[in-house]
Amino acid sequence: MTTPDAHSRVAVVTGASAGIGEATAKTLAAQGFHVIA
């Protein structure tokens, strides 16, 4: 399985102010996703 191209990907993360949501948002952003939190 390959990782999809993240350059044109958008992720909506709820609960991104702390905890798992924050870690998820940071990880996705580091991988090139445009994160909406």
pLDDT single digits (tens) 1-33: 566 665 689 999 999 999 999 999 999 999 999
pLDDT at 23 (0 to 100): 96
pLDDT reading at 36 higher than 90: yes
pLDDT at 6 (0 to 100): 57
How many other CB atoms are found less than 10 A from the CB of residue 14? 10
Rounded to 5 degrees, what are φ and ψ at 35?
Answer: -100, 130
pLDDT at 25 (0 to 100): 96
Q: What is the dihedral of CA 14, 16, 19, 20, to 10 degrees?
A: 50
First CA to last CA distance, the chain: 28
